[in-house]
């Protein structure tokens, strides 16, 4: 029993650290956007595109690499992605022009994006229900700790020395983690001998399942509005509030405290089966906090409090959504379903960066249009509520942790592929 516990925490610790590095590499761009733009000649007002290009690249890699997650196994895929993450981080540290900066950012998104979906699939392969939910919640905690520790520390070091050292440091840490992950076990998925063309066909067939489609639509509305806000935070706080990278990092630190609280709240509710309630409640909290923040109703010294509301809403939703997704399919196609989820995340973030750039303008040293983005984001989050009801009815998920398996129908059959029941 003790050995099993040590094995669980060794597995968790190594992947947790890797996820932390991949999140830091993305989120540290937010407070350092202005400095990076000035150092490389990148237009400051287009800083949101610098954030959004990574997720756009992740969309491409999630589709291209999805079958190989099931074919090669999660550990092999995570090792490949980690090596690419280290190389792209080094490229970001060495970038001196807008072209090299965008190219490095593209490849960092290409390799970093699928890491989370593969870690979740790996945990689902390795552990039964309770341990799986615990592992997914811990992976969510890696995202929660980034604004608490990674962003403030990285912003302070970047301001004190140079933003380039941050990416050099990430490179070194990820290379060390590669050696640790090599010791993790390989788990057979049963899809090793399938032809790649057939695996792509099965991936596309997943979208024929009505229960998969309805959950992915719910996920889309959870994200698309918020991701119009997220890529522009750094420029907004720098121009409208006059914040330095350290000040922005302090805002994220306050958000990180709320994010950890939200993660533990989500664990408590997930253990009692309240998955869809986490999604609905977290979306309402997030939408309210976004409207308050973007309308600048909070005085500058208390902006961090509105960030706390935003991060609280995000943290409550994440483990619940991943728990629902992880039970929609069996191990043979789980990697490809998680790839669809990642494609949706990265598409939403990339699309959010694009549509929000048309709303925003730099006038008299201020970034105008964030209030409009907040209203649009709140509107999409309100649409999550009817989607939650639809998911509950379609999948018949009672909020007591005792789910009823979805009965097979003609559109559920995927050429004999098994499904696990959704609880």
CA distances to 10, 140, 148 from 261, in Å: 24, 12, 12
3-state secondary structure 97-137: CHHHHHHHHHHHHHHHHHHHHHHHHHHHHHCCHHHHHHHHH
In a domain? residue 297: yes
Q: What is the pLDDT of residues 313-347, one digit of tens each?
A: 998 998 889 888 877 777 778 878 888 887 888 77
Q: What is the pLDDT of residues 46-103, one digit of tens each?
A: 776 777 788 778 888 888 887 888 888 889 999 999 999 999 999 999 998 988 999 9
Q: Minimal CA–CA distance to 141: which of 327, 13, 38?
A: 13
Total domains in the chain come to 1
Q: Would you state the pLDDT for residue 2? A: 54
In a domain? residue 194: no
Q: Would you state the pLDDT for residue 332? A: 76
**CATH code where residue 348 lies:** 1.20.1250.20
In a domain? residue 90: yes
Q: Would you state the pLDDT for residue 257? A: 86
Give the domain extent around 78: 10-184+199-395
Q: Would you state the pLDDT for residue 186? A: 84
Q: What gap in Å lies between CA 90 and CA 92, rounded to an integer? A: 5
b/e code 75-113 from CB counts within 10 Å (16+ = b): bebbbbbbebbbbbbbbbbebeeeeebbbbbbbbbbbbb
pLDDT band at 4 (very low <50, low <70, confident <90, very high): low
In a domain? residue 400: no
In a domain? residue 28: yes
Higher pLDDT, 23 or 132: 23
In a domain? residue 114: yes
Which helix (DSSP H) or strand (DSSP E) does residue 326 occupy? helix 303-326
Higher pLDDT, 233 or 371: 371
The Cα angle at residue 165 between residues 161 and 167, in degrees rounded to 5: 145
In a domain? residue 192: no
Q: Would you state the pLDDT for residue 397? A: 58
Q: What gap in Å lies between CA 146 and CA 255, rounded to an integer? A: 10
3-state secondary structure 305-320: HHHHHHHHHHHHHHHH
Q: Minimal CA–CA distance to 165: which of 153, 176, 149, 177?
A: 153
In a domain? residue 416: no
């Amino acid at each position: 029993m003790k050995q099993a516990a040590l094995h669980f925490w060794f597995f968790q610790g190594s992947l947790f650290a890797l996820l932390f590095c991949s999140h830091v590499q993305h989120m540290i761009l937010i407070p350092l956007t202005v400095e990076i733009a000035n150092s490389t000649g990148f237009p400051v007002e287009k800083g949101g595109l610098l954030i959004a290009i990574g997720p756009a690249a992740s969309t491409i890699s999630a589709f291209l690499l999805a079958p190989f997650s099931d074919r090669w196994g999660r550990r092999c895929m995570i090792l490949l992605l980690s090596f690419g993450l280290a190389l792209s981080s080094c490229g970001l540290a060495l970038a001196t022009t807008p072209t090299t900066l965008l190219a490095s950012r593209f490849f960092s998104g290409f390799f970093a994006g699928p890491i989370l979906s593969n870690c979740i699939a790996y945990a689902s392969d390795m552990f039964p229900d309770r341990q799986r939910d615990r592992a997914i919640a811990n992976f969510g905690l890696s995202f929660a700790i980034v604004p608490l520790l990674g962003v403030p520390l990285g912003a302070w070091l970047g301001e004190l020395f140079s933003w380039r050292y941050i990416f050099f440091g990430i490179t070194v840490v990820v290379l060390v983690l590669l050696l640790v992950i090599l010791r993790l076990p390989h788990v057979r998925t049963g899809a090793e001998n399938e032809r790649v063309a057939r695996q792509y066909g099965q991936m596309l067939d997943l979208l024929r399942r009505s229960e998969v489609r309805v959950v992915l639509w719910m996920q889309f509305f959870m994200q698309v509005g918020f991701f119009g806000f997220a890529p522009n935070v750094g420029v907004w706080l720098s121009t409208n509030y006059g914040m330095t990278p350290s000040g922005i990092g302090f805002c994220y630190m306050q958000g990180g405290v709320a994010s950890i609280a939200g993660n533990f709240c989500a664990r408590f509710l997930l253990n009692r089966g309240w998955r869809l309630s986490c999604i609905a409640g977290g979306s309402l909290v997030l939408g309210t906090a976004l409207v308050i923040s973007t309308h600048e109703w909070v005085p500058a010294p208390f902006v961090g409090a509105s960030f706390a509301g935003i991060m609280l809403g995000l943290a409550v939703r994440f483990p619940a959504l991943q728990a629902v997704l992880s039970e929609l399919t069996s191990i043979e196609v789980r990697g490809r379903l998680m790839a669809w989820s990642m494609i949706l995340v990265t598409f939403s973030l990339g699309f959010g960066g694009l549509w929000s750039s048309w709303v925003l303008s730099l006038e008299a040293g201020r970034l105008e249009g964030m209030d409009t983005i907040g209203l649009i984001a709140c509107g999409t989050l309100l649409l999550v509520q009817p989607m939650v009801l639809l998911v509950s009815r379609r999948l018949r998920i009672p909020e007591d942790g005792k789910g009823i398996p979805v009965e097979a129908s003609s559109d559920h059959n995927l050429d004999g592929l098994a499904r696990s029941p959704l609880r």
